[in-house]
Amino acid sequence: MRHIISVLLENEAGALSRVAGLFSARGYNIESLTVAPTEDKSMSRMTIVTRGSNDVVEQITKQLNKLIEVVKVVDLSEAAHIERELMLIKVRAGAKEREDMKRMADIFRGRVIDVSDNTYTIELTGDGHKLDAFIEAIDPALIVETVRTGTSGIGRGNRVLKA
Amino acid sequence: MDRIKALELSGAEIVVRCLQEEGVECIFGYPGGAVLYIYDALFKQDKVRHVLVRHEQGAAHAADGYARSSGKVGVCLVTSGPGLTNAVTGIATAYLDSIPMVVLVGQVPTKAIGEDAFQEVDTVGITRPCVKHNFLVKDVKDLAVTIKKAFHIAQTGRPGPVLVDIPKDLTAQDCEFLYPDSVSMRSYSPITRGHAGQIKKAAKLLLEAKRPVIYAGGGVILSNASDRLTELVRLLGVPCTNTLMGLGGFPGTDPLSLGMLGMHGTYEANMAMQHCDVLLAVGARFDDRVIGDPEHFAQNRRKIIHVDIDPSSISKRVKVDVPVVGNVDDVLAELLKLAKAEACGNAAALDDWWRQIAEWRARNCLRYDRASSIIKPQYVIEKLYEVTGGDAYVTSDVGQHQMWAAQFYKFDKPRRWINSGGLGTMGFGLPSAMGVQLAHPGATVACVTGESSIQMCIQELSTCKQYRLPIKIINLNNRYMGMVRQWQQFFHGNRYSESYMDALPDFVKLAEGYGHRGLKVERPEDVEPALREVFARKDELVFVDFVTDQTENVYPMVAAGKGITEMIFAEDL
Ligand SMILES: Cc1ncc(C[n+]2csc(CCOP(=O)(O)OP(=O)(O)O)c2C)c(N)n1
């Protein structure tokens, strides 16, 4: 099962490596990991996407909680939540492909954010499936470069993760 | 606060003052470039005693033994680079057994960090997976509060070693010294009190049980819960078994004790674990050396109550029915209250259960050949127990001798049995005994070891001489890495690959070379008189080299990965 784990942790040098080290030492897998400071600069918010049985994920959350710099942990996927990922994708867009490519970006509610003679750079947000679908939808030969941030997530409604 | 004129001290002086404020009386260390200012500050005071070991592994083990036997935080101090890497084995040993320890380490000057400077290693990176937490101090202003945090973290919650990495330049800078009385960290607030509802459920289960067992681990000792545990077991009249780490948590000589369980546990303990209907696990973690194959263990249905301070220990290897997260001693106090209020219900069922246990006990699983003309290692431990009146502090190394000590020395008190259970570190015995002896100057301290293990930290004999530590070294010399040989005999077709210990030193001369007394004992009839003589020498370290049976094995044994009741007995071979 895929789980999205949100972690609130002290924004300190080394905190990230403690989390990464925990996952590798205990053989948990990380599908993606994103991290950045919150509105309170002394804290960072991390979103980890992992796969594992419920038992394994229970262990992951407990082990994360044990890290001294971790303030709070929640398994977002336990309840209603929203997830988003940002992708920047550079595609070949010469005279021949331009129009099609623009249409495709529109269908996926993407934006062209950079243009050169023969490329477009398209910005796309959504959940991972949507980004995958975009990649599937275009001719692989036209893809020059893709950059994905990995998933960020947040609980729906009043569900919050705060110190 | 502002009225008190804050003191300006150097970073090095701050380190030493912090130790004084924490009430640290004794630290173990080894100097080097990065800690010279700290050593200078140590030199200029006389409150904190420094014990100079002969290898940094010894410093960590000694601090560890000090902590295990006293319940205080053990402290060691080592220099950057090789000083730290030498100490890592000792740090990991303490980590796996959850021992409260503070490790102070010198680091190259702040500006040189990252430049592959002389004696620079990434200390925080190297030790991250084997400490409870570590810090690199970047500003001398943070030094005191960081050390305060280190002591706080080391001894609260599930204890463990905490390391503070201190760049040399900081120790030379001056700064105001203010030692905080307490620290609060929003990201660290360990739970202590157990959930009342869960404790109620636990009490009900226990009182209604027909075949209850209490399985007690090292957590009982770490949380000073032995008295409460003992009271509970006796109140309920139920069998209690202790893990290797938990020996002494419940008196080994009590008729309610089933002895140790696990890979080399007693038949009765392992059978009771498997066939009970209610299991109360306290401060224990169902580890692989204790319950063997978890699937085999799960084949018999039982209700499991698990009391532990660490939520991640619960339902890690075995699913439990009633988890109680909290400090073991506090939870046991609550349980006791409830148990006292209720009349214990199942007297008849308990009688049947004890009858069954008596049958298992009758198997006499620790039997060995008492008529042997060669010294049996078990016999040495039995006599050691007798001669020391069961009241010694016993440290051990790792191997067969460790298991025999655990099986045959009946520990009635906590903090008397000092061994490396989690990491299984050969070399632990002698330096940890130094820590024990320094924590308990007048006490009888014995180090049970083997001829292979003792050589891993033999250099500490020199430390023992310098500080006049009258440790008694009980060397069960079988000329083999006995435990390795045993596995090779059982599982590798008697191919004793590299497990024979050749070219051994003359241990008597070796001990004498270090300025101690040595004694060699070769005949069974000499064992007891030798021990009597040795333990009468209160002020001297004596190294007793017992020439023991080379072929003796530790029984019973559960092979790795097997079920807890799939035991091999002496009579099977
Ligand atoms: C540092 C370290 N290296 C290797 C081992 C693996 N090991 C476990 S027991 C053992 C043999 C110990 O021999 P000895 O000290 O003579 O004790 P005996 O088993 O003979 O009583 C070895 C090599 C270990 N536990 N620790």
What are the pLDDT tens digits along chain A (163 aa)? Answer: 999 999 999 999 899 999 999 999 999 999 999 999 999 999 999 999 999 999 999 999 999 999 999 999 999 999 999 999 999 999 999 999 999 999 999 999 999 999 999 999 999 999 999 999 999 999 999 999 999 999 999 999 999 998 8
Nearest CA-CA partner of B517 in B569, B472, B566, B459: B472
Q: With an 8 Å Cβ cutoff, are B312 and A59 in contact?
A: yes
Q: With an 8 Å Cβ cutoff, are A62 and B153 in contact?
A: no
B351 Cα–ligand 1 center, Å: 42
Rounded Cα distance, B29 and B63, in Å: 9
For ligand 1, atom 2, which residue shows the shortest CA distance? B426
Closest CB from A14, A21, A58 relative to B129: A21
The ipTM (two decimal places) reads 0.93
Residue of B398, B473, B552 to test ligand 1 pocket, by largest number of atoms within 8 Å of CB: B398
Closest CB from B125, B153, B310 relative to A68: B153
B498 Cα–ligand 1 center, Å: 12
Residue of B453, B498, B545, B547 to test ligand 1 pocket, by largest number of atoms within 8 Å of CB: B453
Size of interface A-B (CB pairs under 8 A): 35
pLDDT value at residue B1: 45
Which of B177, B205, B233 is the endpoint of a domain? B177
CATH number, domain with residue B303: 3.40.50.1220
Report yes or no: A124 at the B interface, CB cutoff 8 Å: no
Closest residue, chain A, to B309 (C-alpha): A66
Which secondary structure element, helix H or strand E, spans residue A104, and what is its range? helix A98-107
Whether residues B336 and B410 share a domain: the answer is no
Which residues of chain A are within 8 Å of residue B185 when distances are taken between CB atoms?
Answer: 68
DSSP B501-514: --S---HHHHHHHT
Which of B147, B177, B207 is the endpoint of a domain? B177
Closest CB from B129, B187, B312 relative to A10: B187
Who contacts B480 (Cβ-Cβ below 8 Å, separation ≥6)?
B452, B496, B499, B500, B501, B550
B452 Cα–ligand 1 center, Å: 7
Who contacts B93 (Cβ-Cβ below 8 Å, separation ≥6)?
B60, B61, B64, B99, B420, B422, B423, B425, B428
CATH number, domain with residue B134: 3.40.50.970
Q: Residues for chain B: how many in total?
A: 573
Structure tokens at B17: 């003052």
Active site residues of B: 56, 118-119, 168, 483
Whether residues B269 and B242 share a domain: the answer is yes
- Residue B95 and residue B161 in contact, taking contact as beta carbons nearer than 8 Å: yes
For ligand 1, atom 5, which residue shows the shortest CA distance? B426
- How far off is chain B from A67, nearest CA to CA, in Å? 8
Whether residues B84 and B125 share a domain: the answer is yes
Q: With an 8 Å Cβ cutoff, are B188 and A55 in contact?
A: no
pLDDT value at residue B18: 98
Whether residues B259 and B205 share a domain: the answer is yes
Omega before residue B556 within 30° of 0, cis: yes
Q: With an 8 Å Cβ cutoff, are A25 and B188 in contact?
A: no
Is B569 within the bounds of a domain? Answer: no
User: Residue for token digits 């700064």?
Assistant: B175
Closest CB from A21, A65, A163 relative to B128: A21
Nearest CA-CA partner of B129 in A10, A67, A48, A50: A67
Is B369 within the bounds of a domain? Answer: no
Which residues of chain B are within 8 Å of residue A58 when distances are taken between CB atoms?
Answer: 315
Whether residues B382 and B356 share a domain: the answer is no
pLDDT value at residue B5: 60
Whether residues B143 and B254 share a domain: the answer is no
Q: With an 8 Å Cβ cutoff, are A14 and B132 in contact?
A: no
Is B191 within the bounds of a domain? Answer: no
Q: With an 8 Å Cβ cutoff, are A65 and B312 in contact?
A: yes
Could you say which residues of chain B have pLDDT below 50?
1-3
pLDDT value at residue B460: 98
B167 Cα–ligand 1 center, Å: 36
Is B570 within the bounds of a domain? Answer: no
Whether residues B357 and B387 share a domain: the answer is no
Whether residues B100 and B167 share a domain: the answer is yes
Whether residues B357 and B381 share a domain: the answer is no
User: For residue B9, how far is the Cα from the chain centroid?
Assistant: 37
Report yes or no: A20 at the B interface, CB cutoff 8 Å: no
DSSP β-bridge partners for residue A125: A86
Interface of B with A (CB under 8 A): 124-125, 128-129, 132-133, 136, 153, 185-188, 310-312, 315-316
Is B562 within the bounds of a domain? Answer: no
DSSP 3-state helix, strand, coil percentages of chain B (rounded to 5)? 40, 20, 40
Q: How many CB atoms lie within 10 A of CB B102?
A: 26
Q: In chain B, how many domains are there? A: 3
Is B404 within the bounds of a domain? Answer: yes
Q: With an 8 Å Cβ cutoff, are A68 and B186 in contact?
A: no
pLDDT value at residue B4: 56
Closest CB from B124, B188, B310 relative to A14: B124
Whether residues B350 and B394 share a domain: the answer is no
Whether residues B210 and B96 share a domain: the answer is no
Please give the DSSP secondary-structure letter assigned to residue B563.
B
Ligand 1 atom closest to Cα of B89?
Answer: 1
Which residues of chain A are within 8 Å of residue B125 when distances are taken between CB atoms?
Answer: 17
Ligand 1 atom closest to Cα of B399?
Answer: 19
pLDDT value at residue B185: 94
Is B189 within the bounds of a domain? Answer: no
Domain that holds residue B511: 377-554
Whether residues B140 and B206 share a domain: the answer is no
Burial class (CB in 10 A: 0-12, 13-18, 19+), A47: buried
User: Residue for token digits 């009771």?
Assistant: B272
**Residues contacting ligand 1 via CB (< 6 Å):** B 397-401, 424-427, 450-453, 476, 478, 480-484
Report yes or no: A59 at the B interface, CB cutoff 8 Å: yes
Which residues of chain B are within 8 Å of residue A9 when distances are taken between CB atoms?
Answer: 187
Q: With an 8 Å Cβ cutoff, are B311 and A65 in contact?
A: yes
Q: With an 8 Å Cβ cutoff, are B311 and A163 in contact?
A: no
Is B367 within the bounds of a domain? Answer: no
3-state SS of B521-542? ECCHHHHHHHHHHHHHCCCCCE
Closest residue, chain B, to A21 (C-alpha): B129
Q: Residues for chain A: how many in total?
A: 163
